[in-house]
């Protein structure tokens, strides 16, 4: 590696930190031998490092910047993932020599160090145990590639850019650095301005994670900081005006047509804020990829942001299932006792309703009692005398949803006002498509995801008619995979083989009625009622997809609630207990590595 100082020294320092991760027990002499074989290459933003199907054999270490792996399959491009500073590219080619499986393109100006296959084999002859560490790396990369789509990973360089007056970006940066260190990332640096001509370059090579504090206007330093960042946090006081700032205008103008860092909006709230409001105006006014709500001084909120930036967010998905969904409450209780708190939540039908409570930051006994109150009185007893669209009028359901949102937040809010990122799935019968709801009225979305066709009337949402999300996707793990989380918890209450009967024909209705009046444990026939039939029949089409989704979660809980019907609202405590016990068993049987990913 022949470079003039100080660049050569910076690269040497960076490689001194990277190489031992991939080459075990790296003595100084072996490190020097490796260093002599490496070739340094700068890659401009948008340039290709190598293309899919090209001959391979070289391994690359990323010293600076960020790159993306893209593979074309059946004429369609699929993003496999992103490679940050400190990571490698092309490990498999060292063993197979097969053509490149993907195209690698630089998202921003990057620097890589290349090790050829002949040079690797020479180093291997000096220390054969290196092959074991490299093989582990290849296996780990294969495991991560099994996720569809790929998970984004950590942000190595973060830029905090204040949008409104009164934002102390440096104080927030210092607190965020502490939160990142608490996750085990000890090498976190904070840089408010370029200390010297090469201050930013030196800092990038010195720290595993670097937080840059931009000025509150588009200065040269702000431009350098935003261009160097993997993730730009636009920080604003939530009570301020939502005007487009000079920083954002600069970002839009300079990056038009180019790959840019992910932009996140961070809205700061007063410590006593019960629930955010007005996030829609911010999101309409500012071009961002995602947003976070932070109460000033709230360690839990800051820790959630840190996990997102470190690529360690935990998502939780809950399935539909009517009253059986009360089991999700027990699952949440068991997870909380185990010190596991999901950062993002989502679900379908009843699962989406239960997921809204932790999304609005309810926990513990408050969550349990809030869910209990929603279904007392039952939302399914306002029968429609003229059933043009449904057996029920749906007024009780609408009142229950609005009462729920107000009870949790003190007012009607939108989905984007939840403290934690949250989505719901509904079925769009206007366009015969699945609908993922991430914005708009929370109460209306809750009605939509739960509106069983034929039981509840369809719910208009943005000019489209929505019904129960269970018809399309009753366990939307695939939607959560799109959120960039590191691990997914799944709680699935789908009952298998819940209905069974002896004999060639069903008993007459009057005998079923008498049987239904008996205590549950003494009933002779397990025949679903009219509402259960209306609920179960449409879900048959998505049942196979639901089983597939189970295989794609990192930690699965399957409460056995088959003994309960979809409308057994009065069995709240018993169903919650089922969920709690199922989650405890799953936690007790989980591998230590799985639990480590969830904490």
Residues 286-296: tens digit of each pLDDT: 889 999 999 99
- Residue 150 pLDDT exceeds 50: no
Question: Residue 393 — very low, low, confident or very high, per pLDDT cuts 50/70/90?
Answer: confident
Question: Residue 58 — very low, low, confident or very high, per pLDDT cuts 50/70/90?
Answer: confident
CB 226 within 8 A of CB 160: no
pLDDT of residue 550: 93
Mean pLDDT estimate for the chain = 84
- Residue 138 pLDDT exceeds 70: no
CB 449 within 8 A of CB 424: yes
| Helices and strands: H and E segment counts in the chain | 21, 20
Question: Distance between CA 294 and CA 595 in Å, rounded?
Answer: 27
pTM here?
0.82
- Residue 141 pLDDT exceeds 60: no
Residue 571 is given by DSSP the state G
pLDDT of residue 473: 93
CB 354 within 8 A of CB 493: no
Alpha-carbon dihedral sign for residues 333, 338, 339, 340: negative
Q: Which residue has the higher pLDDT, 362 or 186?
A: 362
- Element at 33 (helix H, strand E): helix 28-37
Percent of the chain with pLDDT over 70: 83
- Residue 303 pLDDT exceeds 80: yes
| Bridge partners (DSSP) listed for residue 555 | 489
Per-residue pLDDT averaged across 108-136, rounded?
Answer: 78
Question: Distance between CA 555 and CA 357 in Å, rounded?
Answer: 21
**C-alpha gyration radius of the chain:** 27
Question: Residue 149 — very low, low, confident or very high, per pLDDT cuts 50/70/90?
Answer: very low
- Residue 531 pLDDT exceeds 70: no
Per-residue pLDDT averaged across 237-256, rounded?
Answer: 69
Question: Distance between CA 157 and CA 212 in Å, rounded?
Answer: 7
How many C-beta atoms surround the C-beta of residue 565 within 10 A?
21
The vertex-117 CA angle with 86 and 141, nearest 5°, equals 45
- Residue 591 pLDDT exceeds 80: yes
Per-residue pLDDT averaged across 333-353, rounded?
Answer: 96
Residue 500 is given by DSSP the state B
The vertex-25 CA angle with 23 and 29, nearest 5°, equals 90
pLDDT of residue 324: 92
CA dist 121 → 59, 112, 505 (Å): 12, 20, 73
């Amino acid at each position: 590696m022949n470079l003039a100082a100080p660049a050569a020294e910076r690269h040497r320092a960076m490689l001194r930190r990277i190489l031992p991760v991939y080459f075990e027990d790296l003595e100084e002499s072996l490190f020097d031998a490796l260093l002599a074989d490496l070739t340094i290459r700068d890659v401009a933003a948008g340039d290709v490092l190598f293309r899919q199907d090209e001959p391979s054999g070289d391994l690359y270490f990323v010293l600076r910047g960020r790159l993306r792996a893209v593979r074309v399959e059946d004429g369609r491009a699929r993003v496999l993932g992103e490679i940050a500073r400190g990571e490698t590219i092309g490990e498999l080619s060292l063993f197979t020599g097969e053509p490149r499986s993907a195209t690698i393109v630089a998202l921003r100006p990057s620097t890589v160090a290349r090790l050829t296959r002949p040079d690797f084999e020479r180093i291997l002859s000096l220390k054969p145990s290196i092959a074991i560490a490299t093989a582990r790396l290849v296996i780990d990369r294969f495991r991560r590639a099994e996720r569809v789509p790929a998970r984004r990973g950590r942000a190595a360089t973060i830029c905090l850019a204040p949008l409104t007056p009164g934002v102390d970006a440096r104080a927030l940066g210092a607190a965020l650095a502490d939160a990142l260190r608490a996750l085990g990332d000890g090498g976190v640096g904070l840089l408010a301005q370029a200390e010297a001509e090469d201050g930013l370059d030196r800092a990038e090579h010195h720290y595993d994670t670097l937080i840059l504090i931009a000025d509150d206007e588009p200065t040269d330093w702000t431009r350098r900081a935003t261009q160097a960042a993997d993730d730009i946090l636009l920080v604003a006081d939530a009570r301020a005006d939502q005007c487009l700032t000079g920083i954002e205008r600069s970002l839009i103008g300079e990056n038009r047509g180019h790959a840019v860092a992910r932009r996140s909006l961070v809205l700061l709230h007063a410590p006593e804020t019960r629930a955010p409001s007005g996030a829609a105006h911010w999101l309409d006014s500012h071009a961002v990829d995602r947003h976070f709500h932070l109460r000033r001084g709230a360690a839990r909120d800051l820790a959630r942001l840190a996990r997102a930036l470190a690529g360690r967010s935990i998502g939780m998905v809950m399935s539909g299932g009517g009253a059986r969904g009360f089991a999700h409450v027990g699952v949440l209780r068991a997870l909380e006792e185990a010190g596991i708190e999901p950062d993002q939540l989502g679900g379908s039908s009843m699962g989406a309703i239960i997921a809204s409570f932790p999304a609005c930051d309810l926990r513990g006994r408050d969550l349990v009692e809030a869910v209990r109150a929603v279904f007392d009185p039952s939302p399914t007893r306002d029968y429609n005398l003229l059933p043009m669209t449904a057996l029920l009028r749906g007024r009780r359901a609408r009142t229950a949803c609005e009462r729920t949102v107000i009870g949790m937040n003190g007012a009607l809010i939108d989905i984007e006002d939840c403290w934690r990122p949250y989505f719901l799935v509904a079925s769009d019968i206007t366009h015969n498509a699945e609908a993922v709801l991430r914005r708009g009225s929370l109460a209306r979305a809750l009605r939509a995801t739960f509106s069983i066709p034929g039981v509840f009337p369809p719910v208009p949402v943005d000019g489209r008619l929505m019904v129960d999300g269970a018809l399309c996707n009753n366990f939307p793990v695939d939607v959560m995979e799109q959120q960039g989380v590191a691990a997914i918890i799944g709680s699935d209450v789908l009952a298998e083989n819940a209905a069974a009967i002896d004999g060639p024909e069903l008993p007459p209705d009057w005998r079923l009625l008498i049987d239904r009046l008996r205590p549950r444990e003494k009933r002779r026939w397990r025949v679903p009622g009219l509402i259960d039939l209306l609920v179960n029949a449409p879900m048959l089409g998505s049942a196979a997809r639901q089983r597939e989704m189970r295989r794609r979660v990192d930690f699965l809980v399957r409460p056995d609630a088959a003994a309960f019907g979809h409308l057994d609202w009065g069995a709240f405590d018993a169903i919650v207990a089922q969920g709690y016990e199922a989650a405890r068993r799953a936690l007790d049987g989980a591998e230590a590595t799985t639990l480590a990913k969830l904490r």
